[in-house]
Structure 1
Amino acid sequence: MMQKKQRHFWMAQIGGWSLATFLNIVINQLLQPYPGLVMASILAMSLGCLTTLLYRKLIHRWGWRNRSPRGLVIPVLFSVPVISTLWAVSFALAASLFGAWLGIPRAPFLQYFLGVFVSGQMIILIWVSSYFAYHYFTKFSQAEVEKWRLKAIAKEAQLGALKAQINPHFMFNALNNIRALILEDQSRSREMLTHLSELLRYNFSSNNQQLVPLDREMDIVRSYLELVSIQYEKRLFAQIDYDRTLSEVLVPPMVIQLLVENAIKHGVALSPDGGKVMIYAERVGQLIRLVVKNTGYLQAQERLEAPSGVGLQNIRERLRLLFDDKADFRIEERNGWVTASVLFPIEEMI
């Protein structure tokens, strides 16, 4: 992408200044032709091209490309005369020193200077306006691409999780366990059906959402754990704990749920005695950390992958698109516990 932008810049820079040189020669020939006009135009426009290259370096150093268009108005209006002055002075010096050798008629330094300075301000203004117009256009285009990529990945994750939850194995176990409960505990069987419907409804309702409140995500995790507990019974011990002041903090939907599914599948399910799953959230300065811990060893999870088939790479990509480089996702194993943690900036509901 960077190489493509560089190529576009140099094409526009060389092509634009070549066109400006041609138009300057033609217009001056029509209005007031004089000997040495062609060389004077070529010298002036060549120095203008070099001056704008310096201007571009200063724009990068001053960080102007990160400013809003409104924030650029005053800096640009002040810098255009300065850059035009630099251009005009360089031309006046070059013409005074090498004019005779280049065939440019002798003239006072001020005449050389004004010859470039007057029209140079308009040319520099056009150059810098075109430069930032291209920059904002590409930035907007890239943002649109990233937005649609995020939607596509979120859609893939949502559909993948839904597919995993309604696959024949999951549905057979859930419905078969609920059916067995009907004869034993009708109240609990109705409760399990409610959890199943909540789980499916959540997947449908979060279809177009990039972020959801932490409270809502944790409620769905509880519903999932209630359903799974029918199958694992006492082999599964799960605990959810988080500061209620974080209830309205927005989190990517299904990230915690996918990590819990991984923890059960690759931790609890592999042990004859079952295991524990601990889910919690905590504030770390201006960040929030979501943590899912399970008993087990990372060796058994070397090819860890979410049941939805989306996998850890999908979670990493979603975090990158949502939070750029401000998010962190890692999995570690220590003292018989595997810990998956997600860290990203706090963003609350308005």
Structure 2
Amino acid sequence: MKRNAFYWIIQIMSWSFITLTSLKYSGLADETPMYRLIYVCTYMILGMGISHLYNYIHESYDPENFTSRQFIVFPLLGSLTIGTCFALTDFIFFNRSRYLHGEIDAMDCIFFIFDNIWLVIPWFLFYHLYRFVQVHESRRQRILAAEKMLKVVELENLKKQLNPHFLFNALNSIKALTISDSRQARDAIMQLSDLLRLSLNLGDQQKAMLSEEIKLAQDYLALEKVRFDNRLRYEFHVQENIDNILIISMSLNTLIENAVKHGIAKTKNGGLIQIEITTLGHDVIIKVRNTGQYNPQPKTSANGIGLDNLRKRLELHYGSKASFSITNEEDTVLATIVMPF
């Protein structure tokens, strides 16, 4: 609707300007008001009618398949057609008597044809420029839609990899207990059931509330606490009033899983995991610090999936607006996520 309204507004404005300009240089400006009104109405109807027919014919072709030659030929043919129609109309209805009385000659009529052609060329240039912009914008929107769909598919594939990875780590925690303490193993299985219920609820979402992510992390650490006992200690330091912030689902838990698997589990006396969550401006900052040292290993089906997926998901969601880093400090490892909310 808006596009059609814009089209007709431009039609009326442009052909009003062309018609009044033609009237000024036609030698008829001194005629009676009624005569000039008939002239203006005739030219307006003729110009808008032929140009609308031109637009109808032009839209029947796919402009994306136009060659550069067609982009040149179409405006020239349109200008020549309307310019000639203007000149013939002017001669037949308005200047014929002047020609018969010798006031104008054949050369004047020929020049008048070219004058009319030059007069309507700007309309065709503007029309084709507008159509070119439309085609370019339509192509750009389709590309963006395709890229967005590709991102959604890629994110879904990453989530499908991430959930089995999370389950794999949790089952590893229980496996050790089945030999050493069957009672604790049963308790751990119950905790795992609750943990999986929450993780599945989050699994259908690309983003989750921070409070849900923290609850998942606390349940996971409680499960790991059964396995490591006093070797695992953890602390949460969360800024107040930010529970409803949306972050990428499973992002916090990915960092904590990495801290347990590559930090606490590989340290003889275990250690401490500190989770700090704050905001700065429009960014949420998640820091997970754990005892140990980070030594990247070659990626296999069971190694490196979590952090690699986290990087990809951050990039797909936020591009350069988000960042992820993991660094070794003295006796600890610091993993940091910064993402907008």
Q: TM-score scaled by structure 1?
A: 0.63
Alignment correspondent of 2:153: 148
Q: Give unmatched runs, 5+ long, in structure 1.
A: 1-11, 34-104, 183-188
Alignment correspondent of 1:173: 176
**Distance in 2 of aligned mates of 1:297 and 1:248:** 33
AA partner of residue 221 (structure 2): L
Counterpart mapping for 1:163-312 below 5 A = 163-166=168-171, 169-173=172-176, 179-181=182-184, 192-298=188-294, 301-303=295-297, 309-312=304-307
Superposed CA RMSD: 3.2
Verify: 1:315 aligned to 2:310, yes or no: yes
CA separation of 1:263/1:285 partners in 2, compared to 1, >3 Å: closer, same or farther?
same
CA separation of 1:272/1:332 partners in 2, compared to 1, >3 Å: closer, same or farther?
same
Counterpart mapping for 1:64-143 below 5 A = 111=116, 113-143=118-148
Give the C-alpha shift of residue 318 in structure 1. 0.3
Identity %: 21
Is the CA contact (8 Å cut-off) linking 2:264 and 2:270 kept in structure 1? Answer: yes
CA separation of 1:304/1:247 partners in 2, compared to 1, >3 Å: closer, same or farther?
farther
Q: Give unmatched runs, 5+ long, in structure 2.
A: 1-62, 85-109
Alignment correspondent of 1:340: 335
- Selected match of 1:160 from 157, 165, 168: 165
Give the C-alpha shift of residue 345 in structure 1. 0.7
**Distance in 2 of aligned mates of 1:305 and 1:225:** 24
Is the CA contact (8 Å cut-off) linking 2:75 and 2:125 kept in structure 1? Answer: no
CA separation of 1:117/1:244 partners in 2, compared to 1, >3 Å: closer, same or farther?
same
Aligned residues: 253
Is the CA contact (8 Å cut-off) linking 1:262 and 1:305 kept in structure 2? Answer: no
Q: Report the secondary structure of 1:281's partner residue.
A: strand
Query: C-alpha offsets along residues 65-92 of structure 1, whole Å, 9 cap, x if unaligned?
Result: xxxxxxxxxxxxxxxxxxxxxxxxxxxx
Query: C-alpha offsets along residues 311-332 of structure 1, whole Å, 9 cap, x if unaligned?
Result: 3221111011111211010011
**Distance in 2 of aligned mates of 1:237 and 1:251:** 25
Give the C-alpha shift of residue 30 in structure 1. 7.7
Q: Which has the larger radius of gyration?
A: 2
AA partner of residue 268 (structure 2): P
Give the C-alpha shift of residue 31 in structure 1. 8.1
